[in-house]
Structure 1
Amino acid sequence: MITNTLKNSSIRTGRSFDLGKMNLSQLWIAYLTYPTILLYFALILCSFTVMAYTYTAFVPVAVSIGAVMLVYPMVWYAIHRFILHGRFLYRMKWSASLWKRIHFDHHQDPHLLDVLFGSPLNTIPTIAVVTIPIGYAIGGMPASAAAFGAGLTITCIYEFFHCIQHLNYKPRMNWIQRMKQRHVLHHFHNENGNYGITSFVADRLFRSYYRDARGCPRSPTVFNLGYDIKEAQHYPWVMEETGSPPRDRPDGANTTRNAA
């Protein structure tokens, strides 16, 4: 029945869900049945089961979860700004397809759900590397399991709000509206700022935050991240895998309606 609902609602573009054509109810269905999210849910359950089985004290577990909540936005900011928006990955043949999958495709068409979620083969090891050492240093096995579970939980929250930011939907709450507007500017005005998803504290700290289009000039590379025709001629691997030259504008939904 879920499949028929999604199909009849015309929210697919090829093999991908098109967030520009979905409403909030359809997003909830797509999100809660998406394989990557289901995998995260399963790992969260496993993590907190390990925590409960090895539990010895409340404080180390609580501190490790709190530490992950503080560190996670900063780590995400650094990865987003310096790796995903860096130009070194597409200039090496062995990493070009990785960069294409984890971020280039998302900026080429920000409405496609299939490329909005990172590949679990990339995200889960990254979450583990960031969170497990923090937890283990604070309180051993139970705290490391709690930290990993917290990281996965935050990722699920990030991913849902990330979907909201690209959804054909105007949030009722003002703080979600502001969050969405800032992220839409990152995708449709200037990609060299507003790297946050649910928090822009790191953007403010590192001077990459801008409030509206007047606060930052329009970027000619907002949709291709600098991988334009000229770059593709020198470093052709992403273009070869895509099967077409990089686009200056995304296909699919109207790019202005989500900025409302």
Structure 2
Amino acid sequence: MSGTLRNPTIRSGRSFDLGKMNLRQLWIAYLTYPTILLYFTLIVVSVILSAHFFAGWGATLTSILAVMLVYPVVWYSLHRWILHGQWLYKSRWTASLWKRIHFDHHQDPHLLDVLFGAPATTLPTIGAVTIPVGWLIGGWGAAATAFGAGVTITCIYEFFHCIQHLNYKPKAAWIQRMKAWHVLHHFHDEDGNFGITSYVVDRAFGSFYEEARARPRSPSVFNLGYNLEQAKRYPWVMKLTGSPPRDRPDGARPSTRSASRDAA
């Protein structure tokens, strides 16, 4: 496939650079990606289990609605306070986890291989959040429905997440806005706009910003605070990466504070 990029400093093997792909190429990559195929399989299994242990239409629809309401809050909380937290990279036991689930994505925001969450961490999280909700509403049938709804929402999130990093301008105005706000999170100030498809929770917690001029550019937008100084104190992520952390994306202009420091 055209538009591929090999980046051995992050992950060996085949990698797709979303910054060089078009929408058609994304659809092909997305619909054939092993993680997405696994999610599709689990959705089918969830539907079968939901039918077998059918809890009634009321409980089934309520469990879906509950997951739709809970999911954005859980995602926001994990994204802001876990993935953007600094405690995971400070332990040799969790450094590789943090590197895989978020650091690599901010170091190379267009790399498809690390944009998708790893099933080993994503699926247990989805299950821990959705299955108890569904079970409380309508037993095992609703629990299967809730889990399937969570995996379905994850697939939707992942596709729109790809769109936000794709070399493509969406035709719909609402997708354009959504993409612009997520780009700000990756290239201007990472301490805001934690949502993917919805920024309602960001607005509620005061972390939403609409334009770059609303905030100064963050010097840690690309390394999430894991700079050279931190890498010397906590070297495990750097050793796994095989190179020092970069402080900005390729081609990006330095942050105001970084530029001032370099000038000095």
Q: TM-score range by the shorter chain?
A: over 0.9
Deviates more, 1:50-59 or 1:72-81: 50-59
Asked if residue 18 in structure 1 is aligned to residue 17 in structure 2, the reply is: yes
> Map of 1:71-220 to 2, 5 A cutoff?
71-220=70-219
TM-score, normalised by the number of residues in structure 2: 0.92
How far is the alpha carbon of 1:55 from its aligned partner? 0.8
How far is the alpha carbon of 1:236 from its aligned partner? 0.4
Per the alignment, residue 228 of structure 1 pairs with 227
Letter in 2 for 1:136: W
> Map of 1:42-53 to 2, 5 A cutoff?
42-53=41-52
Q: Could you tell me how far apart the structure 1 residues matched to 2:215 and 2:182 are? A: 14
Letter in 2 for 1:74: V
String of CA shifts for 1:83-128, please: whole Å, max 9, x gaps. 0000000001100000000000000000000000010000000000
Q: Could you tell me how far apart the structure 1 residues matched to 2:6 and 2:248 are? A: 16
Letter in 1 for 2:220: T
Q: Could you tell me how far apart the structure 2 residues matched to 1:148 and 1:12 are? A: 34
Letter in 1 for 2:144: A
Indicate conservation of the 8 Å contact 2:55/2:138, yes or no.
no
Indicate conservation of the 8 Å contact 2:231/2:237, yes or no.
yes
C-alpha distance 177-232 of structure 1, shift in aligned 2 (>3 A): same
Query: Which ranges in structure 1 are unaligned for 5 or more consecutive residues?
Result: 1-5
Per the alignment, residue 3 of structure 1 pairs with none
Deviates more, 1:14-23 or 1:225-234: 14-23
How far is the alpha carbon of 1:255 from its aligned partner? 5.5
String of CA shifts for 1:167-186, please: whole Å, max 9, x gaps. 00000000000000000000
C-alpha distance 221-60 of structure 1, shift in aligned 2 (>3 A): same
Deviates more, 1:54-63 or 1:90-99: 54-63
Q: Could you tell me how far apart the structure 2 residues matched to 1:195 and 1:57 are? A: 35
- Overall identity of the aligned pairs, in %: 68
> Map of 1:231-242 to 2, 5 A cutoff?
231-242=230-241
Indicate conservation of the 8 Å contact 2:184/2:190, yes or no.
yes
How far is the alpha carbon of 1:57 from its aligned partner? 1.0
Q: Could you tell me how far apart the structure 2 residues matched to 1:185 and 1:194 are? A: 8
Letter in 2 for 1:124: L
Superposed CA RMSD: 1.1
Per the alignment, residue 261 of structure 2 pairs with none
String of CA shifts for 1:147-170, please: whole Å, max 9, x gaps. 000000000000000000000000
Per the alignment, residue 54 of structure 1 pairs with 53
Q: Could you tell me how far apart the structure 1 residues matched to 2:194 and 2:68 are? A: 17
How far is the alpha carbon of 1:40 from its aligned partner? 0.2
Q: Could you tell me how far apart the structure 2 residues matched to 1:74 and 1:248 are? A: 29
Letter in 1 for 2:179: K
String of CA shifts for 1:119-141, please: whole Å, max 9, x gaps. 00000000000000000000001
How far is the alpha carbon of 1:217 from its aligned partner? 1.2
Aligned to 1:17, the other structure's residue is in SS state: coil
Indicate conservation of the 8 Å contact 2:55/2:142, yes or no.
no
Letter in 2 for 1:224: N
Per the alignment, residue 262 of structure 2 pairs with none
Q: Which has the higher contact order (CA 8 A, sep 6+)?
A: 1
Q: Could you tell me how far apart the structure 1 residues matched to 2:117 and 2:55 are? A: 34
Q: Could you tell me how far apart the structure 2 residues matched to 1:56 and 1:219 are? A: 49
How far is the alpha carbon of 1:10 from its aligned partner? 3.1
Indicate conservation of the 8 Å contact 2:184/2:193, yes or no.
yes
